Amino acid sequence: MDYSNQLIQTGELNDVGEEVRTNTKDSYRRGLELVFTWKPLDWFEWKFNSTFSQNKIINHNEYIDNWDTWGKDTISFAKTDLAFSPSVIAGSQLSFQLFKNILASKTNKQSLYLTIISKYVGKQYIDNTSDDSRSLDPYFVNDLRINYNLGGKSFKNIEIIALVRNVFDIDYVSNGWVYKYNSNGTTNNIDGLFPQAGINFLVGVNFGF
């Protein structure tokens, strides 16, 4: 996709803490997306999706506050990466129907599923300068979900869901911001990162009518 005046995040925050966005005249997102489902057995299914892309800005100007002059300095880039646009993203769901012969029947319509959910997000930048010091590391996280469908008489369906998120307790950061300024001939960063929770749990119940 080629864009004209795409509204993009700069990675900066304004004076009230909101993300700053600006229109860039010439940019593009080009790549390949793959999606497939494989079910070799009645009790096993694998869903997979991935995206491989290039996300670029052409002739981009970066403006940096100069604390000595109270003006702005400009740095020009012929081509640079769009902020918050990883070139590789992938997701996977491995779903197993457990104890099929015991819990799944035509009369009570019960079922028990175990699903392993995996997500990979590649390196991404928090501003539009392609500077490694202003980037987020790739991360790979896994969740474990159990769906127990009870069927039911009073309700059309009752489903209990138990979810263990970040099951391997991985430390990772999924978002951030950066403010840059020039002072005494050097460029300085003030940035903030948003680390995500370690292993955590969620239990819910769905009622169907």
Q: Where are the beta strands (DSSP E) in 42-110?
A: 44-66, 71-81, 88-97
The distance of Cα 154 from the centroid of its chain, to the nearest Å, equals: 39
**Looking at residues 60-68, what average pLDDT do you find?**
88
Measured from the Cβ of residue 59, the count of other Cβ atoms closer than 10 Å reads 13
Predicted pLDDT of residue 124: 96
Residue 43 tokens read as: 């009790």
CA distance 119 to 168: 13
| pLDDT range class, residue 17, cuts 50, 70, 90 | low
Predicted pLDDT of residue 13: 66
Predicted pLDDT of residue 99: 73
Condensed to tens digits (0 to 9), the pLDDT of residues 80-139 reads: 999 999 999 999 999 999 876 554 445 456 789 999 999 999 999 999 999 998 899 999
- pTM of the full predicted structure? 0.86
| pLDDT range class, residue 200, cuts 50, 70, 90 | very high
CA distance 42 to 44: 6
Task: Classify residue 180 by burial, with Cβ atoms within 10 Å: 0-12, 13-18, 19+.
Answer: buried
| pLDDT range class, residue 57, cuts 50, 70, 90 | very high
Condensed to tens digits (0 to 9), the pLDDT of residues 153-169 reads: 667 778 899 999 999 99
Q: Is the pLDDT of residue 14 over 90?
A: no
Predicted pLDDT of residue 106: 53
